Amino acid sequence: MTDQRPDVTRREFVGAAIGGAILVPAPLAAQIVKTGDAAHATLSINLSINNEKHTLEVEPRVTLLDALRERLQLTGTKKGCDHGQCGACTVLVNGRRVNSCLRFAVMHEGDEITTVEGLAKDGRLHPMQTAFVEHDALQCGYCTPGQICSAVALLDEWKANTVSAATPDLSRPLSNELSDDEIRERMSGNICRCGAYPNIVTAVRAVYQQEANL
């Protein structure tokens, strides 16, 4: 009986298995780059970040967070727990907030990604950024970029009548007034170890009232 083994190394097999496990989009072509005995599968991906196009060569396991910080020097997005528990790495993907430490960069081909650097327009801060400054909604500032991105998405979710665990009656439309309980519940995924929560709520409410002309 002959020993018929596939002509593939263990590293190449594991790399291919990982690529399939994370559902890499079909148009992306894998390249095996060999250095000595090591084999690393890389993918060429096109990302749209803050209305700018970027082409990167990354391994399938590279997170969106690491791609932003280490490959594109967009260091406003912070690495906190690296486990999706603190919210410091929150960015917007197609207008929805995500923990970038839990997302692979290769998953976001064709998506529109917005980081805290992309919120300002024409040299002017986003109203939420201004409100955080005016209402002293930060102390050390490490969690602030994620807090601001989350707060921007929060108001969009509210306008879209998206309910939360704090919504008192799910059978009726949301009221016209965004309560502090709603803000706290919707911001609960973003941790501030300095304890600036009261001022964060005040800043979010101020922007909400400004947009609603209340």
pLDDT in tens, 32-45: 444 443 446 888 99
- Topology of domain 127-212, CATH: DNA polymerase; domain 1 (1.10.150)
pLDDT confidence of residue 36: 43
d(Cα 7, Cα 32) in Å, to the nearest integer?
A: 14
pLDDT confidence of residue 209: 94
The answer for residues whose C-beta is within 8 angstroms of residue 210's C-beta and 6 or more apart is 127
Question: Per residue in 185-208, pLDDT tens?
Answer: 999 999 999 999 999 999 999 999
Is 3.10.20.30 the CATH classification of the domain at 10-118? yes
Q: Are 148 and 97 in contact (CB under 8 A)?
A: no
pLDDT confidence of residue 38: 43
Query: What percentage of the chain's residues is helix, strand, coil (to nearest 5)?
Result: 35, 20, 45
Q: Are 77 and 144 in contact (CB under 8 A)?
A: no
**How many alpha carbons fall within 13 Å on the CB side of residue 192?**
22
Per-residue tokens: 23: 């559902």
Tell me the residue type at 35. T
Which stretches within the chain are classed as H helix? Answer: 10-21, 64-66, 127-134, 144-159, 180-186, 197-212
CATH 3.10.20.30 domain range(s) in the chain: 10-118
**How many alpha carbons fall within 13 Å on the CB side of residue 203?**
27
Tell me the residue type at 159. K
CATH 1.10.150.120 domain range(s) in the chain: 127-212
What phi and psi, each to the nearest 5 degrees, are found at residue 189?
-80, -5
Question: Per residue in 63-94, pLDDT tens?
Answer: 999 999 999 999 999 999 999 999 999 999 99
What phi and psi, each to the nearest 5 degrees, are found at residue 73?
60, 30
Rg (CA), the chain: 21
d(Cα 156, Cα 141) in Å, to the nearest integer?
A: 24
pLDDT confidence of residue 139: 95
pLDDT confidence of residue 102: 97
Which has the closest alpha carbon to 94: 84, 81, 103? Answer: 103
Lowest mean pLDDT of 46-50, 144-148, 170-174, 207-211, name the range: 170-174
Pick 148 or 8 by higher pLDDT: 148
Question: Per residue in 107-156, pLDDT tens?
Answer: 999 999 999 999 999 999 999 999 999 999 999 999 999 999 999 999 99
Give me the numbers of helices (H) and strands (E) for the chain, helices first please: 6, 6
d(Cα 40, Cα 169) in Å, to the nearest integer?
A: 52
pLDDT confidence of residue 37: 39
